[in-house]
Amino acid sequence: MPDKDRIEQMVRRVVHRTLGLGGGIKRTPSRPMVTERDINEIPFRGEFVVPRGALITPLARQIAMDRKVTLIEGGDAPSPSVLSVQPTPTAPPGSQNVAIGADHGGYELKEAVKIYLAELGFTVIDCGTDSKQSVDYPDFAFAVAQLVGRGQAWMGIVIDGAGIGSCMVANKVPGVRASMCYDQATAVNSREHNNANVLCLGAGLIGLNLARQIVKVWLEASFTGGRHARRVDKMMEIEKRFQR
Residues labelled catalytic: 193
Strands 155-160 and 198-202: parallel
Annotate 2-23 with b (16+ C-beta within 10 A) or e (fewer): eeeeeeeeebbbebbeeeebee
For helices 184-192 and 208-220, angle between their N-to-C axes, nearest 10 degrees: 20
Which distant-in-sequence residues (6+ apart) come within 8 Å of 110 by Cβ?
A: 100, 101, 102, 126, 159
Tally Cβ neighbours within 10 Å of residue 142: 21
What are the φ/ψ torsions at residue 172 (nearest 5 degrees)?
-80, -15
Distance of CA 110 to the CA centre of its chain: 20
Total count of residues recorded for the chain: 244
What does DSSP assign to residue 194? T
User: H/E element holding 232?
Assistant: helix 227-241
Whether the link from the prior residue into 129 is cis, omega within 30° of 0, is: yes
